Structure 1
Amino acid sequence: MIEVRNLAVAFDGTKILRNMTLSLPKGKLTGIVGPNGAGKSTLLTAMGRLTPIHSGEILFDGFPIGDIATASLAKRLSIFRQSTPITPRLSVRDLISFGRYPHTQGRPTGADLLIIEQAIARLDLSEFADRYLDTLSGGQRQRALLGMVLAQTGDVVLLDEPLNNLDITHARTVMRVAREEIEMGRTVAIVLHDLSIAANHCDHVIALKDGQLHSSGKPEYVLTNEGLSDLYNTKVDVAEIEGRRVILTV
């Protein structure tokens, strides 16, 4: 679905990503992990065509992503970013409705309105749907932004640290929704800091370190004692408790 070949991204002459070659498996949930500053968000925004690339290429279904018309790409790819400016006096429903704009150009049909309401319900936002964004908590606003991304119904969904600011109940909701997207035939990539969540929810893991690909593959092959200890430069133990893998630092 998305292939990255020899990618380099630089800001002010400093390379953030170097010689990166990887792919997002189609129809799978891919977790992107690594220490702070590893380039996780930069990789995600480059794949979402929001960050210019220095060299290399990114392919979407075999075509250079830069050659795809913006209107067409917006119907097929959606991205949740850590910081998205929003107008505070929008309601939750209004914000989520913007996710349908690439499809409707501001003229939603009954089917579009149903998709909007489904996104509201899936993220447990029904009781807040008509409230203004500036009356909500940070976590509630974050879920509303995620609802806008879901309403876009892209073939590829890119999520940059969507669990930040969320309590454990709503973090679980977001991971359930991510799995539902896979069941609907979509491809999802999600930047995660919680390695236990990556181990138990993701089909595929990409680990970055110092702007380069450290490792990639199934969670059981990437999220190991040795691999994680090297990735984070600290001792990490992987345990299994009641059939679930738990990542422990010592």
Structure 2
Amino acid sequence: MIEFTDIRKSYGQDTVLGPVSGQIPAGGVTSLVGPNGAGKSTLLTIIGRLTEPTSGRVTVDGLDVHRAKSQEVARTLSVLRQENHFTARVTVRELVAFGRFPHSRGRLTPACVAKIDEALEFLHLGDLQHRHLDQLSGGQRQRAYVAMVVAQDTQYVLLDEPLNNLDMKHSVRMMGQLRRAADELGKTVVLIVHDINFAATYSDRIVALREGQIAASGTVDAMMRAEVLTEVFDTPVQIHEVDGNRTAVYFR
């Protein structure tokens, strides 16, 4: 379980997040949603130890994320940032192998090689593993980065806008693969997604932020309500339901 207590992040006199407290249960997929500037990335990167909070505490299965040793944290959770740029020319397989660094410290063991192979197969990258990243499409590169965090083999996987720059087809495939990671590999997936309908289709829980605060959180059924989403996004929302699936439609 991820627990965060009285988390706050300020830059000078400006507070961009918090104080916020909450829990994300182990297992399944949890989506963070909300308008731009709501604090989603700040909360995710604080949980992932990429950003130091001004105050507050984060624990993952009891491990104090900001006080534990880096290697211990890296064996517990993996993080995919929104922007990923490699200046070196690396192949897909070399990129995925970076995910094993917390375990191998650069010396790959047979167990590491097996995890790399499993991640490549899981993300359907076997045929592309020897291509360089600059030879891939945007969707293929994004799958390669996700394979890297899968190869890290942590219980908790945090992803900051993994659908960024993906078209509809590749977004659907990516969300399906993240859903499989939760269901088939037993991962706890926490991601930021802008499209509430993607969140509703593939998630177990949704946490909505607004103006640096948690505006609402709960199951998909509890969150996919017109009054909730209208409040979160500050725009009129209608909910359409077909065969038990709810879709949000926004109006000006």
Quickly name the TM-score band, shorter chain normalised: over 0.9
- In structure 2, the residue matched to 1:19 is 19
Partner of 1:175: 175
2:97 alignment partner, SS class: helix
- Work out the number of aligned pairs and report it: 250
Contact conserved, 1:88 with 1:133, CA < 8 A, in 2? no
Q: 2:115, 2:151 within 8 Å by CA — same for their partners in 1?
A: yes
Distance in 2 (CA, whole Å) between partners of 1:125 and 1:209 is 37
RMSD over equivalenced CA pairs, Å: 1.5
Paired residue type of 1:173: R
CA deviations over 1:149-188 (Å, ceiling 9, x no partner): 1110111110111011223333223222222222333211
- Which residue number corresponds to residue 242 of structure 1? 243
Q: Which residue of 1 aligns with 2:126?
A: 126
Cα offset for 1:249?
Answer: 1.1
| Unaligned 5+ runs, structure 2 | none
Give the C-alpha shift of residue 229 in structure 1.
0.7
Instruction: Report the counterpart of residue 156 of structure 1 in structure 2.
Output: 156
Matches within 5 A, 1:16-55: 16-55=16-55
Paired with 1:237 and 1:88, the residues of 2 have a C-alpha distance of 47
CA distance in 2, matches of 1:143, 1:177: 9
Matches within 5 A, 1:103-118: 103-118=103-118
Q: Please name the residue that 1:187 is paired with.
A: 188
Show structure 1 runs of 4+ deviating over 3 A. none
1:233 maps onto 2:234 in alignment: yes
- Structure 1 residue aligned with 2:219: 218
Residues in 1 aligned to 2:63 and 2:105: alpha-carbon distance in whole angstroms:
25
Aligned mates of 2:130, 2:88 — CA distance in 1 = 13
Tell me the TM-score normalised to structure 1 length.
0.94
Percent identity at matched positions?
A: 41
Deviation at 1:88, TM superposition (A): 4.4
Q: 6-15 vs 171-180, which deviates more?
A: 171-180
Mark the CA change 1:131 to 1:201 in structure 2 (over 3 Å): closer, same or farther: same
Provide Cα deviations, 1:102-152, integer angstroms capped at 9, x if missing partner: 111222223322221222222232332111112222222222111111110
For residue 144 of structure 2, what is the aligned residue in structure 1?
144
TM-score normalised by L of structure 2: 0.94
